[in-house]
Amino acid sequence: MRYAILASLLIASSAFADESPFESGLAIEPRLTANLLSLSGSSSSLGLSYGTVQGGLVVGYHLERFTFGLGVDLARFSVTRGETGSTDHDTASTSLTVSPVLRAALLRSADNRVELIAALEFGFGHVFTSDSEATSSPNRDTSNFTFGYLVGPGLRYWLHPQLALQLVTALRGQFVFTSETTTVNSASSTSKENYAYTNIATSLGLMGVF
């Protein structure tokens, strides 16, 4: 099936070899982003990890060398811990991020089909967490929000005047700010912890212009 899709794209690419890409129009891009290498740290620890993948969709406008829009990305992480003779402990986190997106074509080939692009994004979001061992308490309130950025170069190849495949390799920063307020006998206390992640990430997308 994958080979059939690839063959279809190559045939379409050859058929439209003499046409230039659309200069303007509505841009829609489904994408996958993977963190290849991540250096993470918090107020109490520092660590190195590999490989998380998230899916997303960018909707915006393509105008000549520039593409700007809004991206929504979703990622889910699940960890199961267990010991012999005990019940497994499941923890799942779902991250939702909304990002303004800007891309600019810095260089173009003579036929305008291959472009060197620069990508810039800033994202805001929230992490939803569920814990199989967590107990709800009316005296405890937890909250978090996230902020992140992505900046780096990429390549865009126009398979068709309205369809382009693009690959971006970038530096990606993510920051998670958490707060927990506990109330006992009308007295409240708040604890905060912040996490920072610096990633080498790659994003593969298929952009259509209409």
Q: What is the tens place of the pLDDT at every residue in 151-166? A: 999 999 999 999 999 9
Q: Under the phi-then-psi rule, with left for phi > 0, alpha for psi from -120 to 50, and beta for the rest, what region is 159?
A: alpha
Which tens digits make up the pLDDT trace of 1-47?
555 555 555 555 555 556 788 889 999 999 999 888 777 665 544 44
pLDDT tier, 193 (very low <50, low <70, confident <90, very high otherwise): confident
The Cα 33–Cα 91 span in angstroms is 23
Report pLDDT for 47. 47
**Contact residues for 20 (Cβ-Cβ < 8 A; gap 6+):** 111, 112, 161
Report pLDDT for 184. 66
Mean pLDDT of 63-73: 96
Report pLDDT for 95. 86
* Average pLDDT value for the chain: 81
Report pLDDT for 135. 52
pLDDT tier, 176 (very low <50, low <70, confident <90, very high otherwise): confident
Instruction: State yes or no: pLDDT of 185 exceeds 90.
Output: no
**Look-up: residue for tokens 């990305």?**
73
The Cα 59–Cα 171 span in angstroms is 22
Q: With contact defined as beta carbons under 8 Å apart, do 190 and 204 qualify? A: no
Task: Assign a CATH topology to domain 2-209.
Answer: Porin (2.40.160)
Cα 200–chain centre separation? 12
Report pLDDT for 181. 74
